[in-house]
Amino acid sequence: MSKIKTKFACQECGYEVPRWLGKCPGCSSWNSFVEEIEDKRTGKGVRPISSRDNKAVPIGQVKSGQEPRMSAGMAELNRVLGGGIVPGSLILVGGDPGIGKSTILLQMSHFLANDQHKVLYISGEESTKQTKLRADRLGADSDDLFVFAETDLERIELEIDQLQPRVVVIDSIQTVYHPSVTSAPGSVSQVRECASHFMRIAKSKEIAIMIVGHVTKQGDLAGPRLLEHMVDSVLYFEGERHNTYRILRSVKNRFGSTHEIGIFEMMEKGLVEVANPSELFLSERSKAAGSAVVASMEGTRPVLVELQALITPTSFPSPRRMATGVDYNRVSLIMAVLEKRIGMLLQNQDAYVNVAGGIRLDEPAIDLAIAVSIASSFRDHSTLPDDIIIGEIGLTGEVRGVSRIEQRVKEAAKLGFKRAIIPNKNVTGWDHPQGVTIIPVQTVEEALREALGG
């Protein structure tokens, strides 16, 4: 009897080695190798999508046109998907446990079924009765919505062939297994093989497949990184479990803009979309010192959020620096500019910077608002409640131009802001909205003078 051979696969990138290693040579992750049984059988793998008759053609002869889309039933979800669900697409939805992944997909399935689209909801974590209980709470009851509790990939594929649905939901990819792969469900080999089969089904049958993916403790999608490269779209659910608001963010989309966000509120009967997120984030705005409002671009949508800073003297040799919702290194850089170019003595001050509302901002256009909020708290001088502050900061203290300034200022005008402190480079080339005074600045010192009066 032959000895069973094993291998070790990295759970982050799929790198395989014959023995256990502490650090992965492929992605430099620590303690990520898991033992798996090595499968030497041939014939296993992904069947090709195209036939042998398929030939290369000049790109000029390829027919172009807009992809037909199916409405997901929610304007916010359609926005994140780029306008709707494209037939034949493979979409990955990730998020923390209990954040609302299954809820929103079941709501979407209910709407599609009511719109005469046959939907197959495959649950690998719950029985059909458990899924029915959630469906009753959400009011999802349609004859075109089919529920199937199964984890065997071959049986799932057989059910798809018999039912011929337009949309398939897999909840979740970590519970599905291929019988010919000897490793346990959720392992790198199983996730890679199952995702490849679902991709082939989606492309060959023109069926939109939405896959739920678990996340790690660090917030990344579990399984090999290859999973995110294979799918057409990757959607992340963000938010705290004790908070009612959820943010659905698109980090990859082959059929639309990336970094689009949709705002939802978790209610008793499911997720309800929030039409005006800027008004939501500013609803509890503080007028105390250390607060500043910035217009940030999330995909194609401008969103107004409040930046808060708290500067307090420290009793320790090394002052504490904390940043929530913004890049910590960027905050340290801005504080260094304030010390060197403005003369603020922040070396003996603890600094805490926060984005109100739980959203995360990554673009450099929020630099000037961070600097103003820090200076406002340090000087204990409040900013004007009708000011919007936009701009990127350079290391020499200059304020650099930003993109899509017209959309940002127009969104601020809709919410009643009267003044916009923007980079001098962005003043010309667009129509200024009525009722908003444009204040151009070239340096951080000028911006602080205009925002804080000195």
Annotated binding site for ATP: 95-102
Residues near 229 by beta carbon (within 8 Å), at least 6 away in sequence: none
Q: Which two tokens stand for residue 159?
A: 């059910």
Category of 84 on φ-ψ map: left (φ > 0), alpha (ψ -120 to 50) or beta: left
Strands 419-423 and 399-400: unpaired
**Rounded to 5°, angle at Cα 228 from 224 and 233:** 160
- Determine which helix (DSSP H) or strand (DSSP E) holds 170, and give its type and residue range: strand 167-171
Q: How many CB atoms lie within 10 A of CB 283?
A: 11
Residue found by looking up tokens 């070239």 in the block = 442
**Residues whose CB is less than 8 angstroms from the CB of residue 313 and which lie 6 or more positions away in sequence, other chains included:** 348, 349, 350
Residue 265: closest CA among 121, 452, 31, 100: 100
Angstrom distance (rounded) from CA 111 to CA 107: 6
What torsion do the CA atoms of 220, 221, 227, 228 make, to the nearest 10 degrees? -50
Place of tokens 């970590």: 174
Secondary structure of residue 210 in the 3-state scheme: strand
Q: Kind of pairing, strands 33-37 and 6-10?
A: antiparallel
Q: Could you list the residues known to form a binding site, using ranges.
A: 95-102
Nearest to 325 by CA among 239, 434, 224: 239
Q: What letter represents residue 389's amino acid?
A: I
Closest CA to 222 of 438, 10, 16: 10
